[in-house]
Amino acid sequence: MKRYAMKLSYDGSKFYGWQVQVQSPTVQECLEKGLSIIAKKPVKVIGSGRTDSGVHALGQVCHFDFPFDIPTDRLSIALKSYLPHSIKVLNINEVSDNFHSRYDAIWRKYRYIITFDRTPFNCCYKASFHRYKINIDTFRSCIPYFLGEHDFTSFSKPNPDITNYIANIYEIIINQDDDLVIEIKGSRFFHNMVRRIVGAMVAVSHNHLDVRVINDWLNLKRHDQRNYITAPAAGLYLVEVGYK
């Protein structure tokens, strides 16, 4: 058995998220079906993280063990023939047997795109807050309160597999051209975390709140708090995963 790491992108609007579940299709499901056909036996694929239904990826990373030796370029070509057009394999590389796409990742970067011109053609790929007052300067004033190490319980959904919700946010960059683009880089992210951070920025901007309220929300450490919305999945992209 040899272990391979694969980098891929996908259109999240076509899937019920990354992880195999009752609802179909999912990205993991499609990859495992294709690899299992090629291998003629079940192949398990493990991703660097689980993107939600409707969330896109530009640089998701996963790994899998394959039962026989095959050049990576041939494996990539073979796999593509079994995948829908909404999934694109960017590259496949052989890695060490102890490589783990999730546990070996040292940072992840997400991008959130807000459009001010919502149309039927971008509604699956950008988020619209047309009923809210969006101010880019207010958004930027929120950045320092999220940077560094914090307990993000209030900014995530509960997960019985997670023992603590501490993460380190290394960088948040906000730019505006036609769209408002927020990029967040951190050590780890939890279910709905980026979408709730964006939702908190929207709440501060729309309601003209004192930006220091973010500290209060962090200190609540409650999954069920309702001070801000969870931003729509359509605007979120997993951009890149970093390894040593």
Residues belonging to the active site: 52
Nearest to 155 by CA among 187, 182, 190, 127: 190
CB 94 within 8 A of CB 4: yes
User: Crossing angle of helices 72-80/27-39, nearest 10°?
Assistant: 120
Whole-number Å distance between alpha carbons of 241 and 30: 21
User: Crossing angle of helices 193-207/213-220, nearest 10°?
Assistant: 140
Under the phi-then-psi rule, with left for phi > 0, alpha for psi from -120 to 50, and beta for the rest, what region is 223?
alpha
